[in-house]
Amino acid sequence: MKAIKQLFTGLALIGTLSAASAWADQPGADWKVNKDQAEAALKGAGYTQITKIEADDGHWEGEGIKADGKQYEFKVDPRDGRIVKDELDD
């Protein structure tokens, strides 16, 4: 009986984790700028390395390193490719 309870607990946990990943932000249907284009805009703005980029809260957002060697946080508008946030990461 204990083995069955552990099995159902494990299955419930797997189901919960799967549901959580299904709720992750995804690029919207009206996004005209894909991830590669957002990265190109960032490199044009002085980023030498993009360490993280993902769709979140209606933007491409993440972190990267500029030529000064410091880590920055950014947001890129997915409709026009404009960088709307570019701040030193504390």
Structure-token match 């030529």, residue found: 67
**Hey, where are the domains in the chain?**
26-88
Question: pLDDT tens digits for 50-80?
Answer: 999 999 999 999 999 999 999 999 999 999 9
Dig out the tokens for 67 from the structure.
């030529």
Q: How far is 56 from 36, CA to CA, in rounded Å?
A: 16
The SS3 call for residue 79 is coil
pLDDT over threshold 60, residue 40: yes
Give the Cα separation of 85 and 64 in Å (integer): 12
Question: Looking at the domain 26-88, which fold is it?
Answer: Nuclear Transport Factor 2; Chain: A, (3.10.450)
**CB of 48 within 8 A of CB of 66?**
yes
Quick one: pLDDT at residue 20?
Answer: 39
pLDDT surpassing 50 at residue 90: yes
Does 38 have pLDDT greater than 60? yes
- Distance spanning both ends of the chain, measured CA to CA: 52
